[in-house]
Structure 1
Amino acid sequence: MNTPPEPGQRRSVPELSVIVGERRQLINLAYRLLGSLAEAEDAVQETYARWYALSPRQQEAIASPGAWLTTVATRVCLDLLGSARARRERYVGEWIPEPLPDRGEWIGGPAGGRGEPADPADWVTLDESVTMAFLVVLEAMTPAERVAFVLHDVFRYPFPEVAEIVGRTPAACRQLATSARRRIRAAQAPTAPTGTQAGLVRHFKEAWEARDIAALVALLAPDATMTADGGGVAGAALRPVRGGERIAQYLIHFADRAGPGLTLLERTVNGRPGLVAQHGGRTATVAAFELADGRITRIWAVRNPEKLRPWTENEPRGE
């Protein structure tokens, strides 16, 4: 990847615009590898710090700056994934990947938000590889499986390049990606059409607002699971709530405790229809859903405010 110039030749230092232009690709890669936008931004910042620490002669010797940046970013993420498991063992309650809003809701906020627009280089492309269900499966993989799978199956890097990036043989990387695919097939339900999911989420919202426990139970699969992430900062169930009736009771209890200040909004969460619960005009919970056979089978509710920055940075602050 990093071929030096031929004798007698001198390659110019890459233009700043070329280097900075890789940022969006790196953010997209790091978010899928880490499941956290904040950690992805840190990983990309570390990648650029290593680039600018090179001398001009070292930069000139790099044949493909984009490939160099991708390699470094991936290795930074691989190191972070190795330490993340220990950190998440100390995490209070369940850990859920950081949810992302739709670009129109993030950039400047919906309906004329007051914040400055986010850097376009930080946009994460919202496709099937960032749905909450998909990211949760990625969390169950080993770091090596996750990296090999994301690089090859999501970003279409050939296995020889994946091998060079992660420091393994192409055959080993192929085996890792195959193992990761098996995990995906075993864990994921068939994806419901967006319109179908939006309609079901809307009915769920209406039943929740009406405190209609029977309607909520009818919308939930009997063996549905709700996982909440408060991180020890916001109130949340420390263990998954299992069973449609128990989930419905929990949601009614949550709404009763929140009182009249609770507002439910239909929003896009990681590219799929979801819900946002606001209290006093501030986002308190972002919920993502998985469906099967016309019912909700999984709910992921993120309440940790540290994971809700893209949703709250343009909201008015309270007194």
Structure 2
Amino acid sequence: MARVAVEIVTSFVLNQDHKIAYRIYRHPDATTDRRLLLIHGAGVAGRFTWEAMQHFLTSWSEILVPDLRGAGETHHQLGEEIPFTVHQLVEDVEALTQQLDWSSFDLGGYSLGGLVSMLYKERNREKVEKQFLLESAILDRTEWQETVQIREQYAQAAVHLHGDDAATGIKAFLDTISPNRRVSPAVEKLTIDRLGERAKGFAHSLEAVTAAIRELDREKLLAAQGDVTSFIGGLSVEPMHHLHQSLADRMPNWHYFLVPGTDHSLPYQKPRQIARMMDDELQRYLSA
């Protein structure tokens, strides 16, 4: 049964000339007093990404959902769309958790938010306990060069997002990241409309990951992670499943789950099912 948060706090913190928006959902009837930070993907606000899912999560008493730069209610103080790096996104999350005095919590990230969460873990290992990833950026192909090539396609989509034909860029992005998606025209339109609300911010998010890929050491980043549960959409491309299965085979801390009937939009498509699996995975982690 879906739960209604007893209290929802909406506010901002200031970091590097940006007002970072966030929401905290409080559930005093949770089965533990643990806290969970959830980081959204490129282009769509945290609320739209996680609000449905948080209704079904039963294990966390507080759930913190920020808006990253380029999305939602987070803006530069001058109201402009300013390019940023993934490291600046991590610094924003660090500033937020420090101001809220969140010194120990579980952490989840979707797409771009998955990469941000892994970088945060690498820099703040003592703060992060259980981890969840939903189709994290840079973890889509076994061969690193293939991952780099895919990101170059996203960079081409970003060119359209900076111009007057954002819809073309968004469609190119969706065709690359979810080539096997099965959605109605109405859902496709809603997706394009949401991603187009801050088209330049979306473009900056894609460009930030493309820039990061040119400097990141993926193996080093993976080695810095703790107990990870990774969800991959059943309709997502086979090479992504191969990568996560291989990670689960060689890393005892990596737990891979296929979510049937979903593609890259899995947090929107199966929030109840993923929430149940997250609750179950937390119990496995706590009982280990």
The structure with more radius of gyration? 1
Return the TM-score normalized by structure 1.
Answer: 0.27
Report which of the two has the higher share of strand.
2
Report which of the two has the higher share of helix.
1
Return the TM-score normalized by structure 2.
Answer: 0.29
